[in-house]
Structure formats: C-alpha cells, structure tokens
C-alpha cells in the first residue's frame, strides 16, 4: 500500500473509514513521498513527521471507537505558510516573520482537522504572497514539477507543486488576484477560489487585515480531481465565529439550466492560440455532456475591475507595504510594488470611496450576467504558464505578466468564485480554463468542472522533471 499517495483523497478517506487502510499507513506513505520528491521541488518548507503520525493516530483511534472520522478521514493535506498553524511560523515567505509562531490554528486548519484531515506540511509562497512566481529569501525557490523552466505559479506555488507531485492529496491556498487559480493552471491540477465569505479566515498571530484583503482575499483548495475539491470545500467552509465576513450559505443552490457562456478574448484580452484552443475544447466537452454553450464576444467589465482590484490590493496601505518590502529586501516584492506604484498610489479616502462605490456597480453587472448563464468559461491567463521569473527580466516583461493575468485579477473584485480546470498539456506545459459563476454558486463551477474534467485525461501525480 506504499502508493496510497496516488489515490484521490475521497477514495483514500473511504478506505480509511472502512478500515481497509489505516490513517497511519496513509500518513507514512505521504511522508515517504514528501521525502522522495520535495528536495526536487521545494514545495513543502516546514513539516514535522512525528506530529503528522500523531494526527493519524487520533483518526485511527476514533475509527476504532466506532466514531465518524469525517469526510477527509486520514487524508494528508498541506496548508500554505501564510495561515496560522499552532506551533509553526506564519512566515508568508518573509524573513521578517520567521519568529511569528502561531499560538492557535486559523479557522481553515481547524476545519480541516475537524473533517478528519491530517496536516502534512506547510507550502511555500513568494514574499508577502505578492507574485505569480514562488521564491523568497527565507525558504528559497519552488520548482514546477512538470518543467522547472516554468513558474509553479504563485502565490500558492508550493501548494500547486505539492499536489501535482503527489505530496498530499489536497492543498490549501489563498487567492486575492489568482493565487489559487494560477498555480493550479501552471502545475496542471484544479483549484477553486470560493466566494468571499464562504471560508472563514483569521490569523491571530498577525495584525488585522486591511479592508481590501478582507473583501477580496479567500482561502480555497487545490486538488487533482474536482471531486476532491468538492469535499475539501465542504470541510473548509464550516462555521467559525472568528471571521465576521463568514456567510452561512448552502453548498448547493437552486437548480439552474446547464447554460454556459464561452469567451476566448474577454474584454479584449489578447489570448494565445493554445489557450483559445483549450477554452474552445472545454466548450465542446460541456456540449457533449449536455450543456448548452454560447460563444460570446466579450463579458461585463474585466479590465476596469482588474485595475480597481489592483488599487484595492496594493494601494490600500501602499506606503506601509513598501516599507515592509524594503525591510525584507525581497526583489520580487519590491518589483511588484514599485512596478504598480503609478497605478495605485496615492490612494486617499476619496479614491477609496470611489473604488468601493464602483465595486457595487460592477458586482451588480456581473450578477445579472451570471443570471443569464450558469457559468462563464474563459482563459485563466492570456498565455501558457510563464517562464520562471519572467516578471523580473525587464519592464516590458513585468507589464506582459500583469496584462496576461487580467481575468485572474478582476474576478476577486466582485467577490465571485472562480475554478481552474486543468484540461491537458501543450508538450509538457499545462493548460486549462477558468470557470466563473455567481456568488456562492461554487456548486455550478464544480458541476461544469466535472463535465470538463470527464471529457479529458484525469490529472494524476507525477514525478518531478529535472530539466
């Protein structure tokens, strides 16, 4: 049973609940896989094997007593190094936070544990979780297991690389401008950015978040199957009183017609031919599974939403963010802030008011659009996953990266859910599509995602490629 790490999490949980496999066996297989491949990808930057096995022992003991061990019974999962896990440093990729040791778990960690998951390790992210690339001065570079020459994505690049290489069955990530959706895309797995308010978030070890992240940043799962995303979402979205934004929305909404909009170049995005082909193919997969698919020329505003989201994300407290980045000395973080300065600074009270006022209008337009269509299928990025470090080459490359990520940056501004579905490879470079639906309609994203997934080759863990 040493290949247990290959199984979907849902299947593994079933085996553990039925006592065909023990949680300890699953944890031991996961730890062995981590030891075998993590040195090549540097996805997990902190883990304690003895604690992993202790968590597994609690699951086995509960099952032995005849108790319900939960939907994720014994499933090894990873969590990103920017959320609190008791006894571990919440580094967020920063030397500045190497001594920020959490005294309590974040709601996400608590909810995963309550669902029976075993926390396997903590995954890497860029400094401040700013970039679509994953490197920092405290933990080093994370490599894409499919091709070390391309980015593993960011900011949850460690999460994407871990899931793709079989380190854990499900990974936790966070997303304020694509940080779940892009690593899933770059690493050839699936990733769900839930609606704002769906999953409770709070880090007691750090100062309260500014209003921009409060109303647009989320936690969510990455996995190799849509089915695993579904059970992870249910587990992670349990109630926690510590997050005042949490909403008790049902996981399944009213029945909706299987009607999808397909847009190859949303809001004028200059999309690469390989990406357009992937979106068109996803549309055909939906049609074959009974969906009505309508290709549309454009969508409600994305470019404006992306610009406003950038202001809300980086402009809110810009000077304090820049000062912290200068103290850290991380080149990527400084490039991100300095490269966007003209777009986001100054951000005074009047500008802040204008952004939030406009947010209501754009959110309404998108809600109305997503009443007509159950889902929108469009690119995750205008390009295939970037060469690693592209944003640091020169000013033109920095601009190219930010322009290509239009559809990722925009969706959080309206608080909408977005799902990356991996659809295949171009050579050995992953490609996929983004599925968007109305607020709290992750169920529709997942329904469409399952149809797209079923029409192709399932994602499976891979051995990291060296060159």
Structure tokens at 187: 């690493």
* 461 is a domain residue: no
Q: CB atoms < 10 A from the CB of 335, how many? A: 17
Question: How many Å apart are CA 64 and CA 271, to the nearest integer?
Answer: 54
186-238-415 Cα angle (round to 5): 50
Question: How many Å apart are CA 88 and CA 242, to the nearest integer?
Answer: 20
**Alpha helix stretches (DSSP H) within 313-348:** 318-328, 331-344
Predicted local distance difference test score (pLDDT) of residue 431: 98
- CATH code: domain of residue 69: 3.90.1300.10
Instruction: Please name which of 215, 166, 163, 167 lies closest in space to residue 191, comparing C-alpha atoms.
Output: 163
* 460 is a domain residue: no
Question: How many Å apart are CA 421 and CA 424, to the nearest integer?
Answer: 9
Question: How many Å apart are CA 69 and CA 58, to the nearest integer?
Answer: 9
Question: How many Å apart are CA 387 and CA 385, to the nearest integer?
Answer: 7
Question: Would you please indicate which residues are annotated as catalytic (active-site) residues?
Answer: 80, 155, 179
What DSSP state is assigned to residue 48?
-
Structure tokens at 290: 């009974």
Looking at the structure of the chain, the number of domains it has is 1
Residues 6+ apart with CB under 8 A from 348: none
Residues 6+ apart with CB under 8 A from 426: 274, 384
What DSSP letter does each residue of 159-203 carry, written as one string?
HHHHHHTTSSSEEEEEESSSTTHHHHHHHTSEEEEPPTTSS----
* 463 is a domain residue: no
* 459 is a domain residue: no
- pTM comes to 0.98
pLDDT in tens, the chain (467 residues): 679 999 999 999 999 999 999 999 999 999 999 999 999 999 999 999 999 999 999 999 999 999 999 999 999 999 999 999 999 999 999 999 999 999 999 999 999 999 999 999 999 999 999 999 999 999 999 999 999 999 999 999 999 999 999 999 999 999 999 999 999 999 999 999 999 999 999 999 999 999 999 999 999 999 999 999 999 999 999 999 999 999 999 999 999 999 999 999 999 999 999 999 999 999 999 999 999 999 999 999 999 999 999 999 999 999 999 999 999 999 999 999 999 999 999 999 999 999 999 999 999 999 999 999 999 999 999 999 999 999 999 999 999 999 999 999 999 999 999 999 999 999 999 999 999 999 999 999 999 999 999 999 888 999 999 87
* 464 is a domain residue: no
- Taking CA atoms, 11 is separated from 58, 72, 136, 240, in Å, by 20, 10, 35, 27
* 441 is a domain residue: yes
Predicted local distance difference test score (pLDDT) of residue 1: 65
Contact 146, 103 (CB under 8 A): no
* 415 is a domain residue: yes
Residue 344 has φ and ψ, to the nearest 5°, of: -120, -10
Domain span at 415:
4-454
Predicted local distance difference test score (pLDDT) of residue 457: 85
Predicted local distance difference test score (pLDDT) of residue 273: 98
Contact 157, 129 (CB under 8 A): no
Burial status of residue 380 (CB atoms within 10 A of its CB: 0-12, 13-18, 19 or more): buried
| Torsion, CA 56, CA 59, CA 64, CA 65, rounded to 10 | 140
């Amino acid at each position: 049973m040493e290949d247990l790490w290959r199984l979907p999490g849902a299947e593994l949980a079933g085996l553990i609940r039925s006592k065909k496999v023990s949680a300890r066996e699953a944890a031991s297989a996961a730890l062995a896989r981590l030891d075998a491949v993590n040195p090549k990808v540097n996805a997990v930057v902190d883990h304690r094997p003895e604690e992993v096995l202790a968590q597994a022992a609690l699951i086995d003991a509960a099952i032995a007593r005849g108790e319900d061990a939960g939907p994720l019974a014994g499933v090894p999962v990873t969590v990103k190094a920017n959320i609190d896990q008791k006894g571990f440093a919440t580094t967020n990729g920063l030397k500045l936070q190497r001594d920020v040791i959490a005294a309590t778990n974040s709601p996400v960690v608590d909810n995963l544990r309550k669902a029976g998951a075993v926390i396997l390790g903590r995954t890497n992210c860029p400094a401040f979780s700013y970039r679509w690339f994953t490197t920092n001065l405290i933990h080093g570079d994370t490599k894409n297991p499919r091709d070390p020459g391309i980015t593993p994505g960011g900011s949850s690049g460690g999460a994407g690389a871990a899931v793709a290489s079989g380190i854990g069955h499900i990974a936790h990530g966070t997303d304020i401008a694509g940080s779940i959706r892009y690593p899933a895309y770059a690493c050839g797995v699936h990733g769900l950015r839930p609606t704002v308010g769906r999953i409770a978030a709070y880090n007691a070890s750090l100062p309260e978040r500014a209003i921009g992240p409060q109303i647009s940043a989320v936690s969510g799962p990455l996995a190799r199957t849509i089915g695993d995303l579904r059970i992870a979402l249910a587990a992670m979205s349990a109630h926690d009183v510590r997050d005042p934004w949490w909403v008790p929305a049902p996981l399944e909404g009213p029945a909706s017609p299987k009607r999808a909009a397909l847009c190859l170049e949303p809001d004028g995005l200059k999309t690469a031919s390989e990406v357009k082909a992937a979106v068109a193919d996803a549309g055909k997969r939906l049609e074959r599974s009974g969906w009505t698919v309508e290709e549309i020329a454009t969508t409600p505003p994305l470019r404006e939403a992306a610009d406003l989201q950038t202001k809300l994300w980086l402009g809110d407290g810009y000077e304090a963010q820049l000062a912290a980045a200068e103290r850290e000395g991380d080149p990527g973080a400084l490039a991100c802030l300095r490269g966007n300065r003209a777009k986001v600074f100054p951000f005074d009270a009047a500008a802040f008011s204008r952004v939030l006022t406009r947010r209501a209008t754009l959110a309404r337009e998108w809600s109305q659009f997503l009443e007509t269509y159950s889902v929108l299928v469009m690119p995750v990025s205008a390009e295939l996953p970037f060469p690693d470090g592209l944003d640091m080459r020169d000013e033109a490359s920095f601009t190219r990266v930010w322009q290509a990520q239009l559809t990722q940056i925009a969706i959080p501004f309206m608080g909408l859910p977005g799902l990356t579905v991996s659809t295949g490879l171009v050579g050995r470079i992953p490609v996929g599509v983004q599925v968007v639906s109305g607020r709290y309609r992750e169920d529709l994203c997942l329904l469409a995602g399952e149809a797209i997934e079923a029409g192709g080759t399932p994602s499976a863990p891979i051995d990291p490629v060296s060159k």
